[in-house]
Amino acid sequence: MDRRRRDRDGTGAVFATWLTIIGAGLGVMIIIPLTGR
Amino acid sequence: MRRFLRSNGLSVAFLAIFVVALVGQSLAGWMYTNEENSLHNQPIVGYLDFVSSSDFLVDVAENWQSEFLQFFLFILATIWLIQRGSPESKKPGDAGIGTDEDQHIGDHAQADSPRWARARGARLWIYSNSLLLVMGAIFVLSWLAQSLGGFVVANEDSATHGRPPIGWGEYVVSADFWNRTLQNWQSEFLAVGAMVVLSIYLRQRGSSESKPVGTPHHTSSVESE
């Protein structure tokens, strides 16, 4: 079954969004100091 | 959209106020930095330069690491430690990782159990501990981010005051790093402890974090549904 059709209540999308935001934030907070800024 | 918000309102609301608070922090931090720069006859910093600087990012990271450490330790502690009467605790006698039957894994997995809960071996172990693993990873990475950002800021400060730069290894045992770390840890641990204890005797009707109003004080592990 297509994953989008299974995620009818949107919780999968919410989970993915939160993980992406946290991951992106961590990436920015680690990489920028390594550039010396 | 209405259906989506009905099912996901809690996470959407907290995402919204997180964004508002983060933007607010960036604006307040930018204004404060420029006030300090003016006092010390240093150049004004643009907003984009500020939010992409270690000066801002270390303040974000030091808060992130303590929040995720708080959840990591709370999730871990509630496996084995009991607080009688608290809805945040399992019942007395239920300490430990639980039986396969309680956890609906192995031979006791159900047809609609998550796929890795129906697996065996490494996949089952990973999924069984996935919450701790992810919270712990986010804590470690954000604490690393705090150390890197704080190290850059500390050396900028040293340069301004004519002091020699220090290495990252020296920074992570410095007073600045541990002051930033521990001032966050103390408040997180206090908040979790307060939540565990206050919820023994206090109630909030309708909240999933509270026992139902009429539930006795000595009843543990019951939250409003």
Which of B116 and B223 is assigned the larger pLDDT? B116
Nearest C-alpha in B relative to A15: B11
B119-161 pLDDT tens trace? 899 999 999 999 999 999 999 999 999 999 999 999 999 998 8
Is A30 within 8 Å of B3 when comparing Cβ atoms? no
CB-closest option in B8, B15, B152 to A36: B152
* Conformational region of residue B212, where left means phi above 0, alpha means psi within -120 to 50, and beta covers everything else: beta
Is A33 within 8 Å of B8 when comparing Cβ atoms? no
- Indicate if the pLDDT at residue B222 is higher than 80: no
| Per-residue model confidence (pLDDT) at position B2 | 86
Is A30 within 8 Å of B60 when comparing Cβ atoms? no
* Cα–Cα distance measured from residue B66 to residue B183, given in angstroms and rounded to the nearest whole number: 9
Question: What's the gap in Å between the CA of A10 and the closest CA on chain B?
Answer: 6
Instruction: Quote the pTM value.
Output: 0.92
Nearest C-alpha in B relative to A16: B11
CB-closest option in B4, B142, B151 to A29: B142
| Per-residue model confidence (pLDDT) at position B106 | 84
- Indicate if the pLDDT at residue A17 is higher than 60: yes
* Residue B15, Cβ density class (10 Å: 0-12 exposed, 13-18 middle, ≥19 buried): middle
* Cα–Cα distance measured from residue B211 to residue B225, given in angstroms and rounded to the nearest whole number: 9
Q: Name every chain A residue with its beta carbon within 8 A of the beta carbon of B12.
A: 14
For B18, B50, B60, B151, B218, the CA distances from B25, given in Å and listed in that order, are 10, 11, 9, 21, 41
| Per-residue model confidence (pLDDT) at position B68 | 97
| Per-residue model confidence (pLDDT) at position A1 | 47
CB-closest option in B8, B142, B149 to A10: B8
Question: What's the gap in Å between the CA of A16 and the closest CA on chain B?
Answer: 12
Those residues with Cβ within 8 angstroms of residue B210's Cβ, 6 or more apart along the chain or in another chain: B87, B199, B202, B203, B204, B223, B224
Tokens of B193: 């402890």
